[in-house]
Amino acid sequence: MKRNITNWGNYPVEHADEYQPAFRDQLQALAAEKKDWIPRGNGRCYGDASLAPTVITTTKLNRFISFDTLNGILDCESGVTLDQVLEVIVPKGWFLPVTPGTKLITIGGAVGSDVHGKNHHVDGSFSNHIVDMDVILPGGELIVCSPDAHADLFWATCGGMGLTGLISRVKFRLKKIETSYIKQKQIKAANLDEIIRLFEEYKDYTYSVAWIDCLKKGKGFGRSILMLGEHAQLSELTLAQQQQPLKVVNKTLFRFPVYLPSIFLNKLSIGIFNFLFYLKNTKKEINNVVPYEPFFYPLDVIDEWNKMYGRKGFVQYQFVLPLNQKEGLANILHRITERGFASFLAVLKVFGKQDTMIGFPMEGFTLALDIPIRNGLFEFLDEMDKLVLEYGGRIYLSKDARMKAHTFQQSYPRLQEFKQTIQKYNGQQVVHSLLSDRLQLTPQ
């Protein structure tokens, strides 16, 4: 059935045929029969990566296959979402090895985007923890791949935005935890220099991320709150918390009811929000123990918060710059601030080393900010792209909806290898997306 499909940014919209196979044989039959398709999970990438004339959605292919509670290895179908995984593994004392800022993505999506988390500098991205996985190629053939078997397919699939075929099963290693709580430290930084220094100072923390106010000009330019965390040990919990140390929290407070008319979203309202957010931490430093939910997934308690950005939607601009480009980071942030492209708090993080075939992370600074779509935005972002390129950085495909092909081609150094691998496994280019067409990864 044709319907309008859009991902988290509500831009762009594609009128597409959607199929929702519930079992592997149905999936293989679809893969063999359909043309011009792309896999899609829970639709939480921001742009056009999982949009195509035909969309094969995996959310009904969502079964657990095995859970080795002794060694912490989970095997499941690709449509299982992270919140479902957490419900199963947390009570047994295990946690996701890597998690992005929402638990409402599928495991297949986590692999297709090779997601990173607040622990990238310690644990790498999701692909680092995969034992093996099944990929269904266009044509219907199923291939089991891993870093050892069909390694080219494996590395082109991790972060490959679904262009090798459809991931139907993933087996991955979990992280041992004693409690489901996080020992958290929040430190206020008065400006950009201080936050960068703090990242360096606290680099031994497993989890670190900063929320940065990118509307603030002048002396407080780049003021932010650094959030650090470690999985809490049993002895660090209060007596009440110790009653149920592996508690699973899974709640939605409310659903964002309507698309907010764009008039409400302006420099003033966002400025007030950012000001209050910075002010709410009255002390320089806060130390406490909190459930994992508010630490990792603060926005998941508001269902459909993307409606806040109005019907026209928004883009999330996320780029990474090499570690030696502090000035570059300051320059780009400065321009965003000057132009006043209002964004609620942006997220800043320092990545560790990574060199995968089509992975986004590289050692350096990554900044992500939401910007509602309006006139002049795309031209402005094209200018920012030029700077990102100049400083040797790149843009995250999972968030992207508008990058130009030449920007992409200049920023992913192992692109040829990736293209050849897609050619090898998806030769007829049956699988393609609006993103792959736009970036000229597949012929249009």
Partner 1 sequence: MPTVLILGAGSDVAQAIAQAYAAKGYSIQLAARNPAQLQAIQKDIEIRYRVECSSVVFDAADFAASSATFSQVQPLADVAVCVFGYLDTNEQSMQHWPEAEKTIAVNYTGAVAVCNAIAIRMAERGSGTIVGISSVAGERGRQSNFLYGSAKAGFSVYLDGLRNWLFHKSVHVVTVKPGFIKTKMTDGLILPPLLTASPMQVAKAVVHAVDKKKNTIYVKWFWRYIMLIIKCVPEFVFKKMKM
286 forms beta bridges with 186
Does position 1 interact with partner 1 (CB under 8 A)? The reply is yes
The yes or no reply on residue 190 touching partner 1 (CB under 8 A) is no
Are 292 and 249 in contact, with CB atoms under 8 Å apart? yes
Indicate the residue among 63 and 335 with the shorter CB distance to partner 1. 63
Residue pair 100/83 in contact by the 8 Å Cβ criterion: no
DSSP secondary structure string for all residues of 320-355:
EEETT-HHHHHHHHHHHHHHT---S-EEEEEE----
Nearest approach in angstroms of CB 410 to partner 1 is: 43
Q: Pick from 66, 282, 375, 444 the residue near partner 1 by CB under 8 A.
A: 66
> What are the start-end ranges of the H helices in 71-214?
82-89, 107-112, 120-123, 151-157, 192-201
d(CA 322, CA 325): 6
Q: How many CA atoms lie within 13 A of 236 on its CB side?
A: 17
173 forms part of the interface with partner 1 (CB under 8 A): no
Length, in residues, of the chain: 444
Contact with partner 1 (CB under 8 A) among 6, 64, 326, 419? 64
Strand order in the sheet with 64-68: 64-68, 73-77, 166-173, 130-136, 142-145
| Shortest spacing between CB 22 and partner 1, in angstroms | 7
Can residue 22 be called a binding residue for partner 1 (CB under 8 A)? yes
Cβ-based nearer residue to partner 1, 57 or 125: 57
Contact between 142 and partner 1 (CB under 8 A)? no
Counting residues that bind partner 1 (by CB under 8 A) gives 17
Contacts (CB under 8 A) with partner 1, residues 199-228: none
Among 6, 20, 59, 440, binds partner 1 (CB under 8 A): 20
Site string for partner 1, 67-86 (x = CB under 8 A): x---------x------x--
What's the rounded Cα separation, in Å, for the pair 201 and 398?
30
Coil, strand or helix at 197: helix
The stretch among 16-24, 174-182, 267-275, 342-350 that binds partner 1 (CB under 8 A) is 16-24
CB atoms within 10 A of CB 329: 24
Smaller CB separation from partner 1, 65 or 151: 65
Closer to partner 1 by CB, 65 or 249: give it: 65
β-sheet bridge partners, residue 360: none
Q: Which stretch binds partner 1 (CB under 8 A): 22-30, 97-105, 129-137, 186-194?
A: 22-30
Contact pattern for partner 1 over residues 338 through 367, marking x by CB under 8 A: ------------------------------
DSSP string, 204-232: TSSEEEEEE-TT--GGGTT-EEEEEEEEP
Binding of residue 442 to partner 1 (CB under 8 A):
no
Asked if 301 interacts with partner 1 (CB under 8 A), we say: no
Q: How many CB atoms lie within 10 A of CB 1?
A: 6
Q: β-strands 73-77, 224-231: how paired?
A: unpaired
Only one of the segments 58-66, 130-138, 148-156, 382-390 lies at the binding site for partner 1 (rule: CB under 8 A); that segment is 58-66
For the bound state, the minimum distance from the C-beta of residue 81 to partner 1, rounded and expressed in Å, comes to 12
Give the type of residue at 355: D
Least distance to partner 1, CB of residue 100, Å = 22
CA distance 405 to 435: 10
29 sits near partner 1 (criterion: CB under 8 A): no
Q: For the chain, give me the number of helices (H) and strands (E)? A: 14, 21
Give the nearest distance from C-beta 210 to partner 1 in angstroms: 36
Residue whose CB is less far from partner 1, 80 or 350:
80
With CB under 8 A as the contact rule, the residue among 15, 29, 35, 87 that binds partner 1 is 87
C-alpha distance across the termini of the chain, in Å: 23
Residue 211, strand partner residues:
225, 347
DSSP structural state of residue 173: E
Instruction: Check binding of 88 to partner 1 (CB under 8 A).
Output: yes
Among 59, 63, 206, 245, binds partner 1 (CB under 8 A): 63
Tokens of 326: 């502090």
Contact residue for partner 1 among 13, 29, 65, 234 (CB under 8 A): 65
Q: Summarize as ranges the residues that interact with partner 1 (CB under 8 A).
A: 1, 19-20, 22-25, 60, 63-67, 77, 84, 87-88
